[in-house]
A and B are shown apart, each in its own frame.
Chain A
Amino acid sequence: MIRVESLSVSFGRVQAVREVPFHVAPGEAFGLVGESGSGKSTVLGAIAGLIQDWSGTISVAGQPQGRRRDKAFHKRLQMVFQDPYGALHPRHVVDRIVGEPAAIHGLDEVGARVEKALGEVGLGPAFRYRYPHQLSGGQRQRVAIARALILEPEILLLDEPTSALDVSVQAEVLNLLARLRAERGLTYILVSHDLAVIAHMCDRLAVMRDGRVVEEMGVEELRAGAPREAYTRRLLAASRGYDRAAAEGFESTT
C-alpha cells in the first residue's frame, strides 16, 4: 500500500531523515517509534506531502508520488495530528471542521456525512455545533479522527495521536482507532515515542534514531522482549519504568 525507498529529508544543512526504507501492506498497522529528533514525524510529513524537500521514492497504492499531490491522493490518505489543541481551528465549530474536507472535494450531502462521521467516533449531535474550546482533549481528538474519516480514506497516518491525552482517555481513543481499522480495513502508519502504544496497535514496527531506521521487526519480537539492537533493548527497558541499571546503560552510550 505504501512503499518508501531511500527517503531522505533535509532542512537546510540538517539531515532529518537518511535513506529510510519500509513498506506497509494493505490493511496493516505499521509503527514508527523513536525519540524526538529521530525523524519519525518527518517521514510522516513527507508521505503526506506536507514536507516538500525530500528525495527518494514514495509510492502510495502503487502510484509514485511527486512533490505535489492531487485530490485523489488526499481522498485516499488522511492524517491525525499529535496536538488535539492545535489541530482544530479555534474559530470553527465542529460541523465546519468535519465538513470542510467534504466541501473541498465537492461531495454531496455534507450534513449527513458530518453526522455519520461524528457518530462513528462516538460524538452525538449535541457536539455538532460546539467550538473546540468547549471540548475535552479526548473529544477533540475524536473530532480530528472524524475529520480524517469523512473522505473515507484507505490510509490513516497517525502522528502521536494519544500522547497529549490522559491514560484513560488514551485507552478510549486507541480502542476507537482499533475498531475503525477492523471495520474499514484501514491501513495505519502510527508514529509514537511510546513502545507500549505501538505494541498494542501495530503489526510491525521500525525503530528510528538520528534519521535512520535502526531496526525493523514484527510486534511479536517486541513483545517477547527480544529486539536485536542494543538501542531498542534500552528503549524497551526505559519504557518499563525507572530502573537504576537502565539509567547506567544509557549513560555509557550517550
Chain B
Amino acid sequence: MKALDDRSAGSFSAGPRAWLMAEAAGSRRQARLGRWYAAWLVFRRNPLAVTGLAIVCGLIVVALVAPWLAGHSPIEQNLQARLLPPGGGHWLGTDALGRDIFARLVHGARITLLIVALVAAIAAPVGLIMGCSAGYFGGWVDAVLMRITDVFLAFPRLILALAFVAALGPGIENAILAIAITAWPPYARIARAETITIRTSGFIQAARLQGASASRILVGHVVPLTSSSVIVRVTLDMAGVILTAAGLGFLGLGAQPPVAEWGAMIAAGRQFMLDQWWVAAAPGLAILVVSLGFNLLGDGLRDVLDPKHG
C-alpha cells in the first residue's frame, strides 16, 4: 500500500520531545500526551497567558506551603503589636488585633483556592450534564432542562448568595454552595449550544448506528468536545467567583472569624484605610492579582482550546 507511512513511532530514548512530537504515536496515551504538548507549544507563545498560568500556579504553591511560608500564626493575636507598618518582623505589617498580615494573606490563599476549586468542581459538571443532555435529546427534555436553567440564570448572583447564606447561616461552605448554584447556568447554555452543532455530525450518527447508548454517546463523544469551551468559560469566571466570595466575606457572610479570608480582611481594614492603608491594600492587591491571573489564563486557554472564538 503506497499510502503507508512508516515513520517511526518515536522511541522515548530519543528524548521526550521527539516522543511527544512523533507523527505516529505508539499508544493512545502517547497520542493524547502529544496533543497536549502541541497545545502547550501554542500556549507558550502567548506571554500574557503564561503570566496568568504562573500566577495561578503561584496561588496553588502558596496555598500548599502556607504554614511554612507564613512565619507567624494567622490567628494568634498580639495587642501590643497592633497596626504595625510593613517592615521589621512583619513583612506586611499587622492588623487591628496584631495579627501578621502576610501570614493571614498566605493562609487566605487556601480559602480562595478552596472556593475556586469547589465552585469549579460543582458548577462545571452540573452545567455540562444539563447542557449536553438538553442539546442531545432535544424536545421536552431540552425544554424542561433549559427552563430550569433560565430560572437559575434569572437570580442575581450576589443576591441569591445572600439569601442562601441568610437561610442556611453564614459560613464558607454555604457561600461556596450559593456561588456554585448561580454559576452553572451559563455553562449549561454553552454546552447546549455546542451539543446542538455536533448532534447531527457524522461521528454522532455513526455512534448511534453502532448501537451506542445515549449515555455512552454523551459521555464518550459529546462531553469531550463541549468541555473545552466550558473549561475556558469557567477559568474566565473564576475572577468573578473570587470577587463574589470576597464580597460575601466583606459583608461578614462568608468565612467567619478568625479564619483569614481576603474579603473579610479588607472589611476589617477599611476603618484604618487612611492611616494604616496596608491593612486593606494587601488583601485587595492579592484579590486583584489572582483575578487577573485567572483572566489571563482563561484568555490563553481560549486561544488554544477554542480557536474559532479567538
Contact = CB atoms under 8 A, between A and B. Distances in A.
A and B touch in the complex (CB under 8 A): yes
Interface string A82-125: 11001111110101110011001100000000000000001110
A79 B211 CA distance: 12
B27 interface: yes
Contacts of A122: 1, 3-4
Contacts of A34: none
Interface in B6-28: 6-7, 9, 23-28
26 contacts: A48-B209, A50-B209, A73-B211, A74-B209, A79-B209, A81-B205, A81-B206, A82-B202, A87-B203, A87-B206, A88-B202, A89-B224, A91-B225, A96-B28, A100-B207, A101-B211, A104-B216, A122-B1, A124-B1, A126-B6, A127-B5, A129-B24, A131-B31, A147-B206, A147-B210, A151-B210
A134 interface: yes
A39 interface: no
A67 to B, nearest CB: 13
B28 A93 contact: yes
Contact of A86 (B4, B6, B202): B202
B229 interface: no
B35 interface: yes
A21 interface: no
Given A128-B24, A129-B9, A131-B35, 16 more contacts: A48-B209, A50-B208, A74-B209, A87-B206, A89-B221, A89-B225, A90-B225, A93-B25, A100-B212, A101-B210, A122-B1, A122-B4, A126-B7, A129-B28, A144-B206, A147-B210
Interface of B: 1, 3-7, 9, 23-28, 30-32, 35, 201-203, 205-212, 216, 220-221, 224-225
Interface residues of A, number: 44
A147 B205 CA distance: 13
A100 B210 contact: yes
A98 to B, nearest CB: 11
A50 B205 contact: yes
A78 B221 contact: no
B6 A124 contact: yes
B157 to A, nearest CB: 32
Contacts of A240: none
B4 A129 contact: no
